[in-house]
């Protein structure tokens, strides 16, 4: 018997991991081919019945892609179950996808299916899209399966002034006493059921509803059929930044954005700004993930970092602009810390519509860039950047970011900043010992972005000069500048630590 931690066991695990990586690649490629093929079908040329079924298949394939991606990620990372993550969700877009997916299934049984939305329901909510998709799909699947005559409906309304409710009704036989006894149990399907199934649907829906902070209520209707209500209290679906935007900011409540950015701190900052403008967005951690998202789903705008691992932003844009895809003409806002003329020309040649210079100093500058791109005027494309200052540390900028993040998000932002800065400091020290030119340039690139984002302009400028010295391999300048940069990082980490402590005292 092989010991769990023996070399043989480790080799076997590595081989399994390698095989899983290859299998994951092939699964993703096959699903992308399915989605891509369906997108090429001219639905307008089809009769209504065929068009409805193809819309159902196309919508289901996109859901399958998301579920597969989540399953493969969990398997590869061995992370086990994860909680639903709240983000901006456009309800009308979600409900349209639900209609496309389930109207065809209902038509197969010749039963009406309708979705109604109360006028007071907000379009933008802070909920995890995949979680909502899974809950509603499981409830509607059961409702359609058990209804042989009559109709199935989904109604979205405010049950109380602040409680958001999704109500699925059907005109089937309702729940038997045995079914009600086993309600929400794993494999809780009653033995007397004549319909095929495992009984997992309600169990899954209940589990996800609990994760969202909501409740699932089941009852039989007086005149036959069943009624299942998913109720979400105010704190489960509401986000201050999602519904209260400044007057100068664009309203992006109908816009879906792909954010391709490898740095976690920058991801968080940009995501919070998109939240404040009401956008729905997905995050890609590198260029390969960005292309995978674009193969699976439709976006209105892409924010693409130029310097990303596996596949650069330049390569992503070249691929998009050269292919015959729905995203070929999608607006692209390139984000980069390097804004020399040669860099700009290469970025525009690759297909960027506009360039936004890192660090992004304010949400207003970010919003203005998006406004000009999505609602174009006659102004020529230009780099948006705030004026630089000689002030060593502008804490006002940091405090503005923390205000945008909100109380809970501010602590997370500070933790990520500290982690990223500590990581840069460590890797720069290692690179200096080996005089590793590539690593020094990579870490100073990250430092330029981080320091500028929080107002540490002296450190940002220092990192730019150090990056140039690393490019020229000027060892004397590298040694001197690295020592000063190390002190600057330590000082910035002290400021962040003070902010964390001050906020911790307020919450106690």
Instruction: Determine the pLDDT at residue 129.
Output: 84
Cα–Cα distance for residue pair 348/334, rounded to 1 Å: 9
Torsion angle of C-alpha atoms 322, 61, 133, 219, degrees rounded to 10: 160
pLDDT value, residue 155:
95
CB of 352 closer than 8 Å to CB of 317: yes
* 172-211 pLDDT, tens digit each: 988 888 888 888 887 667 666 666 666 688 888 999 999 8
At 402 the three-state DSSP class reads: helix
Tokens of 114: 């309708």
What is the value of pTM for the model shown? 0.50
Quote the pLDDT of residue 20.
64
pLDDT for residue 386 is more than 50: no
- What mean pLDDT is reported for the chain? 79
pLDDT computed for residue 402 by the predictor = 80
Residue 257: pLDDT band (50, 70, 90) is very high
Tokens of 5: 């931690």
Report the run of H or E that residue 395 belongs to, with start and end. helix 395-434
Question: Averaged over 29-39, what is the pLDDT?
Answer: 66
Q: What is the pLDDT of residues 454-490, one digit of tens each?
A: 878 778 878 878 877 887 787 888 888 888 889 889 9
Three-state DSSP class for residue 303: strand
Element (DSSP H or E) covering residue 227: strand 226-232
Is the pLDDT at 2 greater than 60? The verdict is: no
Is it the case that residue 437 has pLDDT exceeding 80? yes
Number of C-beta neighbours around residue 468 at 10 A: 14
Asked if residues 206 and 184 have their Cβ atoms less than 8 Å apart, the reply is yes
| 464 sits in which H/E element | helix 457-472
Q: Which of 14-28, 138-152, 194-208 has the weakest average pLDDT?
A: 14-28
The residue with tokens 């994860």 is 82
Hunting for tokens 């340039």 — which residue is that?
Answer: 441
The top-scoring range by mean pLDDT among 69-73, 291-295, 362-366 is 291-295
pLDDT at residue 316, rounded to an integer: 93
Per the model's pLDDT, the better-predicted residue between 387 and 460 turns out to be 460
Contact 389, 381 (CB under 8 A): no
What was the pLDDT predicted at 426?
93
- CA quadruple 208, 210, 213, 217: dihedral, nearest 10: 100
340 vs 218, which has greater pLDDT? 218
């Amino acid at each position: 018997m092989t010991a769990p931690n023996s070399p043989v066991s480790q080799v076997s695990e590595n081989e399994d991991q390698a095989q899983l990586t290859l299998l994951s690649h092939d699964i993703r490629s096959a699903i992308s081919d399915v989605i891509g093929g369906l997108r090429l079908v001219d639905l307008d040329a089809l009769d209504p019945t065929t068009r409805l079924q193809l819309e159902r298949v196309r919508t289901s394939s996109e859901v399958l892609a998301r579920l597969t991606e989540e399953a493969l990620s969990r398997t590869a990372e061995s992370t086990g179950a994860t909680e639903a993550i709240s983000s901006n969700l456009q309800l009308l877009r979600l409900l349209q996808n639900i209609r496309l997916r389930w109207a065809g299934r209902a038509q197969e049984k010749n039963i009406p299916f309708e979705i109604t939305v109360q006028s007071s329901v907000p379009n933008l909510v802070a909920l995890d899209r995949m979680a909502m998709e899974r809950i509603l799909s499981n409830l509607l699947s059961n409702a359609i399966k058990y209804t042989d005559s009559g109709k199935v409906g989904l109604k979205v309304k405010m049950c109380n002034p602040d409680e958001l409710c999704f109500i699925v009704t059907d005109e089937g036989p309702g729940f038997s006493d045995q079914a009600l006894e086993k309600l929400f149990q794993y494999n809780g399907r009653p033995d007397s059921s004549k319909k095929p199934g495992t009984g997992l649907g309600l169990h899954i829906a209940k589990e996800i509803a609990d994760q969202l902070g909501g409740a699932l209520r089941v009852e039989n209707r007086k005149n036959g059929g069943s009624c299942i209500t998913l109720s979400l209290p105010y704190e489960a679906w509401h986000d201050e930044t999602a519904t209260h935007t400044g007057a100068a900011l664009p309203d992006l409540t109908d816009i879906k954005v792909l954010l391709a950015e490898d740095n976690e701190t920058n991801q968080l900052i940009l995501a919070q700004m998109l939240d404040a403008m009401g956008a729905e967005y997905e995050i890609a951690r590198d260029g390969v993930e960005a292309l995978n998202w674009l193969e699976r789903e439709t976006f209105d705008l892409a924010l693409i970092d130029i310097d990303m691992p596996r596949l650069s932003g330049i390569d992503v844009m070249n691929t998009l602009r050269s292919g015959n895809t729905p995203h070929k003409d999608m607006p692209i806002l390139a984000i980069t810390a390097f804004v020399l003329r040669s860099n700009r020309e290469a970025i525009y040649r690759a297909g960027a519509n506009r360039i936004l210079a890192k660090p992004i100093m304010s949400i207003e500058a970010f919003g203005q860039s998006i406004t000009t791109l999505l609602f174009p005027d006659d102004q020529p494309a230009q780099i948006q950047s705030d004026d630089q200052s000689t002030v060593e540390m502008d804490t006002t900028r940091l405090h503005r970011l923390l205000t945008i993040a909100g109380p809970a998000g501010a602590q997370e932002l500070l933790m990520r900043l500290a982690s990223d800065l500590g990581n840069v400091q460590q890797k720069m020290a290692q690179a200096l010992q080996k005089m590793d030119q590539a690593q020094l340039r990579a870490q100073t690139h990250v430092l330029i972005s981080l320091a500028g984002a929080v107002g540490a302009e002296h450190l940002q400028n220092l990192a730019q000069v150090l990056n140039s010295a690393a490019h020229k391999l000027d060892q004397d300048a590298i040694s001197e500048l690295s020592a000063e940069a190390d002190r600057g990082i330590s000082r910035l980490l002290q400021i962040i630590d003070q902010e964390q402590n001050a906020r911790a005292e307020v919450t106690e």
